[in-house]
Amino acid sequence: MDQRDLWVIGCIESPLRVGWDFRGDDVVVYVAGEIDLSSTGELDKVLRAATNIIQPGTRLIVDLSKVEFLGVSGLHTLCRARERCELESATLMVVAANTEVTWPVQVLGLGELLGITAQLPRDCA
């Protein structure tokens, strides 16, 4: 997978868009659209590829600030990505301030586990 690839996943009415880039030693994955059962497979594929290239001590930052819906399957995908990061001695950070993401995360008590923050870290902006 090449840097800055962009995928459009899902149906025409609500596609999931995923792209990624390096920011220093960190990998930032940008996600927009709806994360539901029909799109989590492709999101998982991108997050797996990202966790395969991150180095110990770095971060996998998943920017969900343009996500319009986050279902339970998407939360499960993020939790699995966190586990893979932990195996690589890296950190998962999820960027989101939108209620479409923060509400389901809060309801399920996953905010701390997923490292939710409201904006990209200054060194990645």
Q: What is the pLDDT of residue 46?
A: 94
C-alpha to C-alpha distance for 19 and 32, rounded to whole angstroms:
9
Q: What is the pLDDT of residue 125?
A: 62
Q: What is the pLDDT of residue 11?
A: 40
Q: What is the pLDDT of residue 124?
A: 73
C-alpha to C-alpha distance for 106 and 37, rounded to whole angstroms:
20
pTM, rounded to two decimals: 0.87
* Domains with residue ranges and CATH for the chain: 6-117 (3.30.750.24)
Q: Splitting the chain (125 residues) into consecutive groups of 10 residues, what average pLDDT does each group show?
A: 46 71 93 93 94 95 96 96 96 95 94 90 76
**Nearest-CA neighbor of 26 among 61, 51, 1?**
61
Q: What is the pLDDT of residue 34?
A: 94
Cα end-to-end span (Å), the chain:
23
**Nearest-CA neighbor of 46 among 30, 33, 32, 34?**
30
